[in-house]
């Protein structure tokens, strides 16, 4: 379905981003990966799906590096047809104890990076009259949790940015939508499970169930593969008129 298209997925060397990149690659899209840590492993996983894969290590907190990444993607594959803004970090603390530098970093990476990548991707998408911008928000873009002020603020901002982007391009072939996962077992979430296990003397299984039981009625994690399939749907002809939605895959979290 996506043969000849190019997808750039930020924060895609592991977790949700890699899951989405692989789902798009299975549909034939060439992939530009971005992120930290192991790079060769994820590149090999995507290449094994029979598409071309490139990598750019832009620090998503730095607009100049985002600009270089977008130029690199265009040089490699012509243009970015599908932009998935997924890069994100987390810090947990009460507002009065929240380090200002952590607030600034979370807003920069979780929110501002999506703005910068979007503004740079839009001209080529509009010229081609086809583009898909998919913002990975969170159920925290719809509801809040204590001690996550910066993350919740950024993800609410992502949902708002999604709506504005969709409206500004409503009469074109460029769509913008947001995915709002609940708990997904990524390295970021595993750290929270480990902390809960250590604090309470629980096994990993007990801590996992306690974590899910606080918020998610289904008591099961959403998987990167499921999120990837939703991204594929947003890129399909069936989603041509799906614009500005914040689609939660959260096991019933926001339904409560």
Report the relative pairing of strands 246-249 and 174-181 from DSSP bridges: parallel
pLDDT score, position 113: 98
Q: What is the pLDDT of residues 109-162, one digit of tens each?
A: 999 999 999 999 999 999 999 999 999 999 999 999 999 999 999 999 999 999
Nearest to 19 by CA among 109, 107, 84, 114: 84
Maximum CA extent, the chain? 57
Task: Specify the pTM.
Answer: 0.95
The H-assigned helical ranges of the chain are 15-26, 40-47, 63-77, 100-107, 113-128, 149-168, 187-200, 204-215, 224-235
Catalytic positions: 151
Query: pLDDT tens digits, residue range 184-214?
Result: 988 778 888 999 999 999 999 999 999 999 8
Does 231 have pLDDT greater than 90? Answer: yes
């Amino acid at each position: 379905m996506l043969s000849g298209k190019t997808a750039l997925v930020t924060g895609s060397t592991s977790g949700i981003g890699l899951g989405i990149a692989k789902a798009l690659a299975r549909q034939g899209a060439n992939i530009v990966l971005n992120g930290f840590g192991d790079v060769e492993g994820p590149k090999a996983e995507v290449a094994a799906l029979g598409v071309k894969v490139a990598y750019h290590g832009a620090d998503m907190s730095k607009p100049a590096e985002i600009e270089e990444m977008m130029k690199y993607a265009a040089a490699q594959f012509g243009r970015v047809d599908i932009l998935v803004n997924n890069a994100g970090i987390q810090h947990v603390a009460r507002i009065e104890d929240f380090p200002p530098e952590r607030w600034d970093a979370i807003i920069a990476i979780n929110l501002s990076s999506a703005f910068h990548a979007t503004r740079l991707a839009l001209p080529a998408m509009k010229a081609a009259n086809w583009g898909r911008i998919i913002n990975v928000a969170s159920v925290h873009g719809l509801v809040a949790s204590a001690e996550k002020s910066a993350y919740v603020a950024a993800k609410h901002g992502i949902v708002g940015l999604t709506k504005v982007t969709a409206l500004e391009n409503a009469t074109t072939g460029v769509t913008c939508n947001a995915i709002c996962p609940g708990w997904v077992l990524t390295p970021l979430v595993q750290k929270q499970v480990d902390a809960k296990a250590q604090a309470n003397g629980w096994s990993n299984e007990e801590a996992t169930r306690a974590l899910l039981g606080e918020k998610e009625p289904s008591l099961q994690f959403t998987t990167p593969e499921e999120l990837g399939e939703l991204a594929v749907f947003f890129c399909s002809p069936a989603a041509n008129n799906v614009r500005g939605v914040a689609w939660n895959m959260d096991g019933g979290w926001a339904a409560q």
